[in-house]
Structure 1
Amino acid sequence: MALLRSFENDDYLPEFGTLMIRDAWDSDAEEIPGLDAFEEGGSDAAPCGTIARAGSGWLEAAAGDGPHVVRLEAHDAAPPDDHDEWSEAVETSYFGVGEVGLTYVTGGAGKPELRLGDPGPYRARVSRRRWDDGGDLWRFQFWPHRPEPPRWLKRDGSAVQDPLSGWDTVLDHHVRDVAYLVYAAEREHVRGGTGVTAEELGEWGARHARQRGWLDQPLWPDPPTPPPSGHADIDAGRLDSRRSVVEDNARRLREHTRIAEQLGVPAPTTFRAALPLLAAAGLLVAEDSGDGPRYRWAADPPRARDVLDLSAETVAQVERRNGFHRFTRFASDLVAVAMWAGGAELTIRELTGRLLATEREVRETLEYAVEQGLLERTEVAESTLILTPLPRRADSVTSGYTQIPAPGPPWHTPSPPAPQIFIGVIGSAGDEPDVDGEVFEAARRYFDGGRAKPYRPPFGDPPRTVITDDEVTVRREREITMSRPRGEPPVQALEAAYGIVLFGMAGESALLRYDGTIMTFGTEHSHSGVLDERGRLLAFTEAEYSRRDARHRLHLIDLADGSRQVMPWDEDRDCYVVAIHEGAVHFVGAQPDGGPRVAMCWAPGGEPEPRGYDLRQIDPLTGTALVYDSGLVVISPDGIRRRVDLDPAAELAPGGRRLYTYRYLPPAVTLFDVETGADNPKVFWLPRGTNPSGAHKPVWEDADHLLVPVPRWEIDAAAVRLDVRTGEFERVPQIGSPIVRPLLAHRGALPK
């Protein structure tokens, strides 16, 4: 009985509140037969259960927020039972390939961080307790063991949650949030325990990311009329959405007016008006004082059905939500026991001991699990039954839409509208099809659906800079090809005066100089940066979110000599860069008191200074700025401000004379003249399947040409080049792998 190996991560941040361990993927490992019932996601039971649950190649634990310290241990036999030293502990069976690692819900297989042994069944003991440095300490102990149902060794509280009062169903969350704000303000207030007045609550909220005067703002404000997008169908859809919100707001006000009438208080039209309603309902306690009512949090409010005359429909809704709240986690524990019991007979007494729960909790949760279709229960004798876990129900949710025919270039000849379909091409390394390979021919036939051959523009020149799997090709006075640094594929490329700047998904960033040398900037940076108008200065933020003491730094690097300056900044406050112009860095940063982020400017040698507007862009060619000030405003270098009633997502095109937006389904780029706004937009329809977002979004070659990456099988090209003056398209020749889209570089000053 010995500890064989261990692995520890002292800074694990869960995803979706779930600590995830999975098998390390091994292409040579043999599959373990007969484990279909233990597959991850094979049941509708809630993830994790009350503490943890496991199956074939996966183990998940209810971790909440982090960061956590996680320790994985491999033993040759059961380690000593020390569950008294922990807050919670459970043992469960686990099938695995013999190697596990920490990962995330959406993170795929685990890394090979801990070798357990040979493929087969293991026992896993999961233990948790509070850690001194914040978060929790988790320990996962694995050892070889035959499969058997899980057993809970210690619980931190009851297996079943306390009943809800029902107010979370009856009252809208905007109203209930006021009660939570009173609770938070009362705890922080200097007169803690004596409650807070409405004015004190308003001041407290203004110091905690709420606008000054928020207390007198409407609870359900109607959204503004959406600005035009240049597309009639999009505008109509946004107006319909606004109409739905307005109608929903009116419905909420009617419902809460009826509640207020029953409680004998005014209708809650503002956050301030919600205070007397919450006090009358019993969620707050109001006490008279010389400076107005003081409100305190009510620790044990009455049930909503005992205070209000609720409809049968509302009562049923309250009961459904109450059942979910009380039983859903514990029902997942029951499913885990049934899964590993494998059809064996179980008694109620055995279940209470194995689950550390009362007989009433077990019986009530069994009823809930059967009603929800999680378990099938077979009574064998009195208090003896067989539990069978039921598979995940197949949802018959259908989603489809009709693609609107694009009136622009005839990328496809007219045909009946059909749902757009995505097709993925999977191949093995070293076996990629060539440009005219069978896979792409099949994909082309699939997309064309037997229709006439799609329209294909003539070929034009290759792009100036393109990043492929392992190379960076730059066409300046002569063509330069450089090897890309090893590691994760980059997500942004910038063409600077001294080379190509690459930003990777994992935070790696580097400058590939035109002479072939590489200057690295370090890790933990943001996934993007900005250049100044000369292509010499580079700014980006360092954001170590995984650290217990997160820090945020803004770096300014002179690419000519590699010298670096770090902006003076409170590293607890986050920030992100917007632009560099005339040597000054424009960025958005959090306020010292935790208020909303504000636009700021930093000139090296000085301190960051706030701006009076939300800066969105600065055009490197002209210095024209795009800001948001209750709508889009374009500020020319001479200080002239032009308000543009347009979609807030619009961006400045190079040169500062035009704004542009992208749309999807069908894809298009739309240009607007700054002088005329939404009048006379120019719409350029793009090839079907184009996704104008993410790493492979379009880039401007110069003030008049836009490069748009496109699906390879649509037009036999890597991208199209759009001349926004004439509307003419060119195909850009394929570069690199025909499967992986190349990454195009954004240019710095965009010289003509």
Structure 2
Amino acid sequence: MTLLEFCEDDEYSPEYGTIVLRDVYRDKTLPALDNELLGENATGTVSGTVATAGDGWLYATADHLYQAIRCEAHDGPPELRLGNWEDIVESPFRSRSGIAGLGWLMGGTLSGELSLGAKGFYRVRVCRRPADAGEEGDVWLFQFWPEEVPEPPRWLKRTRPAIHPEEPGWRQVFGYDVIEVSWYFTLVGMLRPDGWLDEPLPGREQPSESVCGQLGVDPPRTRRDGIPLLVAAGLLVEDGTGGYQAGTPRRATEVLDLPDELANRIDAAAVRAVYVWLAADLVTIAAWSNPAHVRDLAGLLAVPEETVEPLLAYAVSDKLIHRENGAVTALPRRPPPTRPARRRVETVRREEPATVAGSPPKAGFVSGDGAVVVWRAGEPVVLGRVESDYRYRAFETLTGVYVASSGGQGQLIDWTGAAGPAPVDLGMLPVRSVDGRCLAGVETHVGRRTWDQVHVFDVATEEVWSLPKSDELTRTVLAVHDGSVYFTTRSGYMTFTASRWTPGQEPVEFASTVHQLDPLSGAQVREEAGAATVFTASGEQRALPEPHRWRFVPGGALMHSGGHEPPVVQVLDLAAGTTAEYPLPDGCDASGTPSTSPIWETPDTLVFSQPNRGSTRRIVRWHLERNEFEHFDLPEIAGYRPFLVEPILVRQAGPGQPDAPGRRPLRGDDPERLIDQVQR
């Protein structure tokens, strides 16, 4: 048979230990299956001992952070080669689109796609083996070929256990904080600061005095006090060098006299841990067979006959299947338990601030489907379109609009409408110089060999400068100010250093950590003697209470913070040391979370989206100095959850006039004139 197409990912990182492959939809013209049990998450099971598949989805179980995966499309069944594969399973797979792609459990797909050939039924063979020596994780092969009449899933080879050890239940007895102490010794590479073991044990969950008394140990007050409890339970054993290693504990209900409700939960969880993965295999066989027959299960599952009856007993007790007269049918996922509605506390507030009709957003917006819209001659115009599904933030620059993405390089749409990827990946949280000329960010690569790299991109000259790659994910860009990039580097557990980098020179490390920097004035929030201190542009120092709450207002003389229910803005005057609170119109998003977070159009004007009022298209403009509000409704093209383009804050003065204060003169053309020329 012929190999038609393949795609690979050598550093796939599964979410929650689950590899996910889904249909990539272009349309939904294929009718739904009559059997709704084949839908994704239709039953109450997980991804199985190796892999399970259904209507447009495939889940596989992964034990490590990184996996190497190859997906192949064939025109017929490829030769079965057992080779050094440890586990092999075949399953039906139904594709609505004829295109499949690796993705994440919580949604979305990666960039690689596999064309299967057409919509319809396929069979997929999943093979798994350990990675080569020195590499983390497993190696996977997914092979697809057409199958007109779906045959039930079948496990062709098993090397790893189909059932697992029971869960002893000590987590439910001791609570998270004591169990975390055991991880300190048993999880290799677990970072904790010096003195962590001698800190007081957090009071979130404490073992009861009854439990401590039965184990003959005093109730713990510090984390170190938890070690005797863990030893008494068998979770830790001394390793002979003064340290501890993981033990093999008995079930907690066999050691302790516990309340009936807790004991019943622990016993049920113990059995579930043994059979939950194999039960997912059973359910997928039942869903595709509709029904499956008990006599066939051992052969399809590739398990001993004596495993089948206790497996069926567990699956029936957990309401995963229905068994009758030797036939097994899958049951749909149970709905979540209903919770009583929370009583809403009505907040008494002053009268909602009035708004008047105002002008459109100064630099435009990015629509729900990726259209970049700007205003020309008073009318909205689509400048261009961004194809990425993971749009995050947008900036006006000298040469066009840059749209940042949470996956890969951002897109730059110039003023003529031409679109293309930026020459370098600036990550999902880039920063921009206030004159719109330079963008800076951190490119990240998460994989077996993780690294990050700081880049600066000059949109006017298209020059790129880069620092060397790091060995881990350690750096965060704060701002671009006066021709330099400010960034922090993590050097240990919650330990950071701050640096200033001027392209073409070596970075200069500061004596104290910089947490924030206002790109307009250069004002900073620094860590001084263990406290956050604001250094203004003129060099004055101000203590800053609650440093994580406040952000600079452009210009560095004020700081602001948002609140909700009801929405408000608090403004801190650094010189006077006073705080004022300003109510906002209902529904305004005052949070600092992109992409609907407020943006500064000018150093005195803050613009909010209003998604919490049922309108994702209305914007509200607040003039800080005179505390007045305007509103503007974006056109229909805005779609669902549009976000605003952040305008250039500083325009360079015209010929013969001095530059705006607090900034370095630019090379080349005047930015205002350059923008006007290109837009025309």
User: CA separation in 1, counterparts of 2:616 and 2:90?
Assistant: 56
TM-score when normalising by structure 2: 0.83
2:59 counterpart residue number: 60
Q: More helix by proportion, 1 or 2?
A: 1
CA contact (8 A) 1:624 1:634 kept: yes
User: CA separation in 2, counterparts of 1:56 and 1:8?
Assistant: 21
> 2:498 matched to 1:600?
yes
2:34 counterpart residue number: 34
1:301-357 Cα offsets, whole Å, 9 max, x none, are: 34444544444343223212212322211111121122122235422xx32232122
Determine which of 271, 280, 286 is the counterpart of 1:338.
Answer: 286
Determine which of 311, 330, 344 is the counterpart of 1:402.
Answer: 344
2:233 counterpart residue number: 281
Determine which of 502, 509, 517 is the counterpart of 2:410.
Answer: 509
User: CA separation in 2, counterparts of 1:97 and 1:266?
Assistant: 61
SS where residue 56 of structure 1 aligns?
A: coil
SS where residue 172 of structure 2 aligns?
A: helix
User: CA separation in 1, counterparts of 2:257 and 2:612?
Assistant: 63
1:210 counterpart residue number: 192
Determine which of 630, 637, 645 is the counterpart of 2:537.
Answer: 637
User: CA separation in 2, counterparts of 1:750 and 1:599?
Assistant: 29
Choose 578-587 or 150-159, whichever is displaced more: 578-587
2:563 counterpart residue number: 663
CA contact (8 A) 1:405 1:666 kept: yes
Summarize the Cα distance change of 1:108–1:704 in structure 2 as closer, same or farther, 3 Å threshold: closer
1:85 counterpart residue number: 84
> 2:585 matched to 1:686?
yes
1:174 counterpart residue number: 177
User: CA separation in 2, counterparts of 1:91 and 1:287?
Assistant: 43
SS where residue 351 of structure 1 aligns?
A: helix
User: Equivalences for 1:295-306 in 2 at 5 Å?
Assistant: 295-306=243-254
Give the drift of 1:106.
3.5
2:668 counterpart residue number: none
Determine which of 612, 618, 624 is the counterpart of 2:512.
Answer: 612
User: CA separation in 2, counterparts of 1:36 and 1:675?
Assistant: 65
Summarize the Cα distance change of 1:480–1:36 in structure 2 as closer, same or farther, 3 Å threshold: closer
1:73 counterpart residue number: 72
1:5-54 Cα offsets, whole Å, 9 max, x none, are: 23121333323322222234243743155232322221112x21111112
1:18 counterpart residue number: 18
SS where residue 330 of structure 1 aligns?
A: helix
2:168 counterpart residue number: 165
User: RMSD between aligned alpha carbons?
Assistant: 3.6
SS where residue 271 of structure 1 aligns?
A: coil
Give the drift of 1:651.
1.5
2:654 counterpart residue number: none
CA contact (8 A) 2:3 2:74 kept: yes
Corresponding letter in the other structure for 1:99:
G
Corresponding letter in the other structure for 1:175:
V
User: CA separation in 2, counterparts of 1:32 and 1:603?
Assistant: 57
Corresponding letter in the other structure for 1:508:
Q
Give the drift of 1:279.
2.9
The share of aligned pairs that are identical, in percent, is 29
Give the drift of 1:578.
0.9
2:136 counterpart residue number: 134
SS where residue 367 of structure 1 aligns?
A: helix
User: CA separation in 1, counterparts of 2:129 and 2:193?
Assistant: 39
Give the drift of 1:496.
4.3
> 2:469 matched to 1:527?
no
Determine which of 146, 150, 173 is the counterpart of 1:147.
Answer: 150
User: CA separation in 2, counterparts of 1:334 and 1:714?
Assistant: 44
> 2:596 matched to 1:648?
no
SS where residue 478 of structure 2 aligns?
A: strand
Q: How many residue pairs are counted as aligned between the two chains?
A: 638
Summarize the Cα distance change of 1:20–1:741 in structure 2 as closer, same or farther, 3 Å threshold: closer
Summarize the Cα distance change of 1:344–1:280 in structure 2 as closer, same or farther, 3 Å threshold: closer
Corresponding letter in the other structure for 1:502:
V
User: Equivalences for 1:101-112 in 2 at 5 Å?
Assistant: 101-104=100-103, 105-107=105-107
> 2:264 matched to 1:316?
yes
CA contact (8 A) 2:24 2:101 kept: no
Summarize the Cα distance change of 1:741–1:669 in structure 2 as closer, same or farther, 3 Å threshold: same
Give the drift of 1:606.
2.2
SS where residue 681 of structure 1 aligns?
A: strand
Corresponding letter in the other structure for 2:129:
R
Q: Which runs of 5+ in 2 are unaligned?
A: 652-659, 661-680
Summarize the Cα distance change of 1:643–1:360 in structure 2 as closer, same or farther, 3 Å threshold: farther
User: CA separation in 2, counterparts of 1:340 and 1:515?
Assistant: 54
Corresponding letter in the other structure for 2:645:
A
Summarize the Cα distance change of 1:609–1:130 in structure 2 as closer, same or farther, 3 Å threshold: same
Q: More strand by proportion, 1 or 2?
A: 2
Summarize the Cα distance change of 1:318–1:608 in structure 2 as closer, same or farther, 3 Å threshold: farther
Give the drift of 1:60.
1.6
User: CA separation in 2, counterparts of 1:723 and 1:406?
Assistant: 25
User: CA separation in 2, counterparts of 1:117 and 1:511?
Assistant: 34
TM-score when normalising by structure 1: 0.75
Q: Which runs of 5+ in 1 are unaligned?
A: 186-204, 221-247, 412-454
Summarize the Cα distance change of 1:164–1:571 in structure 2 as closer, same or farther, 3 Å threshold: closer
User: CA separation in 1, counterparts of 2:330 and 2:555?
Assistant: 63
1:510-556 Cα offsets, whole Å, 9 max, x none, are: 555668788963254312322345544432111133x5433311112
